[in-house]
Amino acid sequence: MVQQNIKVAVDAVVFGYKEKTLKVLLIKRKVAPFIDSWALPGGLVLEDESLEEAVERELKEETNVKVDYLEQLYSFGKPKRDPRNRVISVAYFCLVKPERHHIKADTDAKDVAWFDMQDLPELAFDHEHIIEAATKRLQSKLTYEPIGFDLLANKFLFSDLEKLYTTILQKPIDRRNFRKKILSFKILEELEEKVSEGRGRPANLFKFNKKQYFKLQEEGFLFDIK
């Protein structure tokens, strides 16, 4: 048997929703190759940690972020994707609530920043490709799982939720039908608090009731927004 010398890395596509736009978290690389390029946070997996632990560790080390949602996206393994050694990267799909948007370039990165998805810089490796896959995952998941709530603050306005859907899916939504549909799921709590956004009628705050969602899910309920 030929001795195998392939390295295993993880990379994280971390989405955040801020100022009514979708953002992705990038770091500025401190080491070759692609030194000074923007790239996804990530790095080699250690001997004794799971893949998920590796992602969480790298995110902590490089960006100081702790994500609210994390799932495996896809593994990228073309022989030449890293110009030096062969590296297989297991990419993860992550979501962060605004409360946790505070980032900090830590020991392992020169800089960290949220980039608007409409305005990404040149990226290292095949990271552009990975972000593309993550975006598709985000768009499709948004329609059949309540992951939008992992991008919003705990208390949010209905109009925030609606704007998030139109922004990410890039198509208009009928406000009345949308509200009717979501409310019919009975997974939101309407709070007493109201918020006035400067002008216009003050709006009600809502909260996602995750426990209730899990309960309904057990009973066969399927979240589905077309």
Partner DNA sequence: ACAAAAGTGTTCGGGTTACACCCATGG
Partner DNA sequence: CCATGGGTGTAACCCGAACACTTTTGT
**Taking contact as CB under 7 A, which single stretch among the options 5-13, 126-134, 139-147, 196-204 is the one that binds DNA?**
196-204
Looking at 18, 36, 50, 195, which residue binds its own copies (CB under 8 A)? 50
Write out the DSSP string of 205-216.
EEEE-HHHHHHH
- Of the pair 14, 182, the CB lying nearest DNA is at 182
Distances (CA, A) of 13 to 25, 29, 96, 129: 7, 15, 11, 11
Residue 77 contact partner, candidates DNA, its own copies, none, CB within 5 to 8 A by sort of partner: its own copies
State how far the Cα of 114 lies from the Cα of 71, in Å rounded to an integer.
20
**77 lies in the binding site for its own copies (CB under 8 A):** yes
Give bridge partners of residue 74 from the DSSP assignment: 91
**Taking contact as CB under 8 A, which single stretch among the options 76-84, 166-174, 180-188, 195-203 is the one that binds its own copies?**
76-84
**158 lies in the binding site for DNA (CB under 7 A):** yes
State how far the Cα of 64 lies from the Cα of 55, in Å rounded to an integer.
12
Looking at 13, 70, 90, 138, which residue binds its own copies (CB under 8 A)? 90
Residue 89: partners with Cβ closer than 8 Å, 6 or more residues away: 8, 9, 10, 11, 42, 75, 76, 77, 81, 125, 130
Q: Which residues bind its own copies (CB under 8 A)?
A: 1-2, 4-8, 44-51, 72, 74-75, 77-79, 86, 88, 90
